[in-house]
Structure 1
Amino acid sequence: MRVLVVGSGGREHALVRAIAKSPLVTEIFCAPGNPGIATFAKLVPIAVTEIEALTRFAANNAIDLVVPGPEAPLVAGLYDRLHEQGIRCAGPSMAAAQLEGSKQFTKEVADAAGIPTARWEAFTDAEQALDFIRRRGAPIVVKADGLAAGKGVVVAQTVEEAEEAVIACLQEGSFGAAGARVVIEEFLEGPEVSVFALCDGTDAIFLGAARDHKRVGDGDTGPNTGGMGAIAPPPGFTHELRDSVMETIIRPTLHEMASRGIPFRGILFAGLMLTAEGPKLIEYNVRFGDPEAETLLPLLDSDIMPALLAVCDGGIKHVAPRWRAEASVSIVLAARGYPSAYERGTEIRGLDKAAADVEVTIFQAGTKADGSRILADGGRVLVVNATAPTLAGARSRAYATVDAIDWPEGFCRRDIGAHFT
């Protein structure tokens, strides 16, 4: 089979690496990819939002399966165009992708399906939103309704902080059209967990769970980011919790989506809060997480392709991915200044030497090649993953590898998973 992976980050590097292990696959392409992905796939210079160009490439190159990494092409209708051409796509339709494209849509689906979630209201008028916040008080959560690259959520500890978030979205236009509506919801307490399920429109199987570390600084300080590291499996996430999430959150979502005539096919990523009252839905994403993909996929001990094909063709309940019974830790190396302004073009040295440990993988996320040199070309630049029988062992391996990379212009959190060891 010929496979096209769409994306250029660490998540896509992890997906391509996993797909390359399948005996079903004869050739892999990645659009646009990065230097690390080039080890496994032929790079195609097409941006993820160029839907027509991606569709033409898939049709002209006899692609059997397209695997989208990020959410933007799905929300823009990549599945729909590929489906018109008779090409499989392991992701949802544009209509179903609104589970990530609109926070309000997700909340409406959750309410209709009886899914436990935070109480909420949506606003397009700043004065009404500010009045609501002043009446409710803090802590409170303010979210840009649309796609904001993981940066449109403010967990406000004070009323003033929440007011600033509303003004940034609705008056200053900080997130453009994505922030033209805000969803304001109650603050939930408890540990967060990312749960992934593979869905074929009618049924789902549990794929895995991880714990992301969103804030930029040690001790969960500073602004939210796209993710500074992750661990798997999440400590305390029992089989009973897993089954509860599948029965009270994932499957009711699938049933509600199907009843609306927009069945969900693809990877459903549920961001959950494990409250004292049980798991509650924070938000949905319609693709693998990043850096969760780089954390979970190194533990996969079976062929990923049958599962991706079942997403498209049905019969997902007959697929049973196997996982190594180990711990996995991923550390993000970001360019100094991220998630605000950061410098591009600095050289990263020592990657080959740093990756000598067979239980360590360095996924490239925001990089570009300059001859034989690897340069930083994004905010989150590298993801260092390590696996080991214990979480402590995986952390030790991951940080030893981080310290072996020669990139003075980068930084990372030093406490990924530390709370659990």
Structure 2
Amino acid sequence: MNVLLLGSGGREHALAWKIAASPLLTKLYASPGNPGIGSVAELVKLDMSDHSAVAAFCQEKKIDLVVVGPEGPLVAGIADDLRAWGIRVFGPSKAAARLEGSKGFTKDLCAKFNIPTAAYGRFGDLASAKAYVEKTGAPIVIKADGLAAGKGVTIAMTLEEALAALEACFEGAFGTAGAEVVVEEYLTGEEASFFCLCDGATALPFGTAQDHKRVGDGDTGPNTGGMGAYSPAPVMTAEMTERTMREIIEPTMRGMANLGAPFAGILFAGLMVTDQGPKLIEYNTRFGDPECQVLMMRLKDDLLVLLNAAVDGQLAHMSARWSDEAALTVVMAARGYPGTPEKGSVIRGLDEAAGGGAEIFHAGTAINGGALVANGGRVLNVTATGATVGEAQRRAYAAIDHIDWPQGFFRHDIGWRAVEREKAGA
């Protein structure tokens, strides 16, 4: 099979690494890719916003499957346009991608189909949103309705924080994504990421993870796109997984089909596991980043076989097997992130870092003058496996010790909750 992978981050490097291991693969192309992806794929320059140009490339290279990594092109309808050209695509339609593209759409879907989630209000103007927040009080959650690269959410612990977040949204801090806001009840519990491969009719459970959104140790500082993750999520027991499928995933699949937008692709449910059970925080319609990295390290099956089954509507006949080992990834970010990152600093020592069984997935790197340099906010994902989360954690941080990049930083406590659980159970 000839495969085209769209995207350039750590998630796409992990997908490329796993797809490249498939005996089904003939040739893997990636656009725009990054230097890490370039080690397993041929990098090509395509404008993802020019769907006809992507389609023309697919026809020229006889592409058998397009795998769309990031959410932006999916929300823009690239899957629909490529399918109209007769090209097979792994990823949801534009109508189904609204599950990520509009938080308000998802909240309304939950209300209509009795899917457990936080109480909420939707607002298109500052005055009515402020009135709702002042009536409800803090803590409360403010979300830009549209895509904001993981940064459009404020967990406001005070009324002042909440009002400032509303003003930021309506003043354009997140562009058009903040033209409408969703204000949500503050939920207490433990967060988890739950994934399903979907083919429009069947949802196949596809792993669990927990990530760390805050930039600083001890879960402090502003939210980011994710500073690290580990898999599996201990809180997602067999019982909690069964309840999540029955109470959240399956009603969503039925609801989307009912709305004429059956969901096919990867469905990523961000959950809060509360005293009452799992509640949906939000949906993403693509693999998480950096959750994808730890899932790919643990997946025992051929990813390409599973993606083909999802595209062909054959998931009812499939299963996914996972390693008993845990996987953990630590994000190394450029100084300044999640604000304006410093680009261009040289990174050395990756070969030595990967020598102990760790995998280094590139997220925001480039080659400049023959040297590997930082070219984004989240730059590297240092990923390792182990018999326990604690062992995977030790291996990942041991690998980081070999990386020479003074301008980079990382959290030192990725996986802390699971490690504490392991110690308590010892």
Q: CA deviation at 1:61?
A: 1.4
What is the match of residue 329 of structure 1? 328
Contact 1:271 1:281 in 2 (8 A): yes
Kindly provide the CA deviation profile for residues 73-127 of structure 1, in whole angstroms up to 9, marking residues without a partner as x. 0001110111101111110001110000000000111111110000000111101
> What SS does the corresponding residue of 2:142 show, helix, strand or coil?
strand
Distance 2:414 2:49 in 1: 32
- Give 5+ residue unaligned stretches, structure 1: none
Deviation at 1:163, TM superposition (A): 0.4
CA distance in 1, matches of 2:206, 2:408: 32
CA distance in 1, matches of 2:47, 2:339: 23
SS of structure 2 residue aligned to 1:347: coil
2: CA distance between counterparts of 1:46 and 1:246? 37
Distance in 1 (CA, whole Å) between partners of 2:148 and 2:77 is 18
Map of 1:410-421 to 2, 5 A cutoff?
410-421=408-419
AA of the residue aligned to 1:75: V
| Alignment check: 8 A CA contact 2:192 2:233 kept | yes
- Match of residue 226 from structure 1: 225
Structure 1 Cα separation of the partners of residues 147 and 48 of structure 2: 15
Most deviating of 4-13 and 40-49: 40-49
User: What is the aligned partner in structure 1 of residue 191 from structure 2?
Assistant: 192
SS in 2 for 1:348: coil
Matched, 1:212 2:199: no
In structure 2, the residue matched to 1:398 is 396
Partners of 2:52 and 2:217 in 1: how far apart?
A: 42
CA contact (8 A) 2:192 2:235 kept: no
Residue 126, structure 1, aligned to residue 129, structure 2: no
What residue number does 1:180 align with?
179
Q: Deviation of residue 243 (structure 1)?
A: 1.2
Under a length normalisation based on structure 2, what TM-score does the superposition of the two structures give?
0.97
Q: Aligned residue for 2:135?
A: 135
Where do 1:8-407 residues align within 5 Å? 8-170=8-170, 172-358=171-357, 360-407=358-405
Q: Which amino acid aligns with 1:208?
A: G
Tell me the CA shift for residue 371 of structure 1. Answer: 4.3
Counterpart contact for 1:330–1:384, Cα < 8 Å = yes
Provide the C-alpha distance between the structure 2 equivalents of 1:24 and 1:288, rounded to a whole number of angstroms. Answer: 22
1:152: Cα distance to partner? 0.1
Tell me the SS of whatever aligns to 1:255.
helix
Output the aligned Cα RMSD: 0.9
Aligned AA (1:355): A
AA in 1 matched with 2:49: T
The Cα offsets for residues 4-56 of structure 1, whole Å up to 9 and x where unpaired, read as: 00000000000011111111110000010000001110001124433332222
DSSP 3-state at the match of 1:399: helix
The alpha-carbon deviation at position 369 of structure 1 amounts to 1.1
Name the aligned partner's letter for residue 39 of structure 1.
Answer: S
Instruction: Work out the percentage of aligned pairs sharing the same amino acid.
Output: 55
1:131 Cα shift?
A: 1.1
Q: Which runs of 4+ in 1 moved over 4 A?
A: none
Q: Which residue of the partner structure matches residue 424 of structure 2?
A: none
Q: Which runs of 5+ in 2 are unaligned?
A: 420-426
Map Cα deviations across residues 231-279 of structure 1 (whole Å, 9 max, x no partner): 1111232111111111111111010000111110000000000001000
Relative to the length of structure 1, the TM-score reads 0.98
Secondary structure in 2 aligned to 1:279?
A: strand
Question: In 2, distance between residues paired with 1:239 and 1:372?
Answer: 49
Q: CA–CA distance in 1 between the matches of 2:52 and 2:369? A: 31
Alignment length (residue pairs): 419
Aligned residue identity for 1:227: G
The one-letter amino acid of 1:166's match is L
